[in-house]
Amino acid sequence: MYLNSLLLDEHFQGEIAYEQLTIGRKLGSGGFKDCYAGTYLGVTVAIGELRVQNFTEMDITEMKHEINVLKQLRHENIIRFIGGKDQDHSPQNADYSICIELCENGDLYDFMRKTKKPTFGRLIMYMHDIALACSYLHSRRPSIIHRDMKSMNVLISSDDRAKINDFGLARIRPKANASLHTQCGTPNWQAPEFWTPNPSYTEKVDVYACGLIYWEILSWAELGYPYHNLTEHQLYEAVRDREERPPLEKLRKYPQSLIALIQDMWRKEPKKRPSMSHVVDRLAEYLE
């Protein structure tokens, strides 16, 4: 029933034709989705094969929401949605498929752990790409808050550019002065304002998370991921109550202004964090 409602949604566009889809090697699995490399109309793509028979209503709603968000977005640093289709004739016997742009180098989290640390200029380029994508989301009307920014949701393309992925938790913010009030995301990258029974937050939660991703990029995973040695309860106490942040001692070789920008991005008070458009401008200074 829920699958049919998804397929009949009047806003859904981009139905793919299976006779023009070729599924290749498996890229990975997660939750209710298997991912494959493939081609569609001669273009290299990533294919998400979904099995919805055990889906809850919330699962279907989240999947439908991600597709609807992706359809709206056109930016070189955001994964491009190509199409989707009911899987009546799926080669993998799945229930539903989504077809998106393929980023051959996988997600940033794994990429940092399997490749040599690049030059400072390339690190800044990744950071700038992420900032451009978030700035685009936040400047839309209505604006979009990703809400689950983390290194696993940043993909690296074959031409070495960073692109934001996974919009299942994204929410559209209808008014510029409105706050949202639902809990979501991954605790290690979550802004402190999430951690209350009735959270109230703005797009500044993405700014906070990007600050942590930037710390990961500059350390190139040598220091692990944010708060990797803390339990969830310890994380809340350290980050929210004591305002602890990831260590910066080993990053002092980088420009102090860049370190200060990251510190501003992960400030406890959301209003004191810069906008992502400001971050774009600041990072551009290091690309000149």
CA distance 161 to 132: 12
Residue 4, token pair as written in the block: 């049919």
Residue found under tokens 């940033």? 108
Contact 227, 239 (CB under 8 A): yes
Residue 169, token pair as written in the block: 């938790």
- To the query of whether residue 59 is one of the catalytic residues in this protein, the response is no
In Å, what is the CA distance from 227 to each residue of 75, 191, 244? 31, 13, 10
Which residues are CB-contacts of 262 (< 8 A; sequence separation ≥ 6)? 211, 214, 215, 218, 248
CA distance 54 to 52: 5
Spot the catalytic one: 107, 148, 166, 206. 148
Residues labelled catalytic: 148
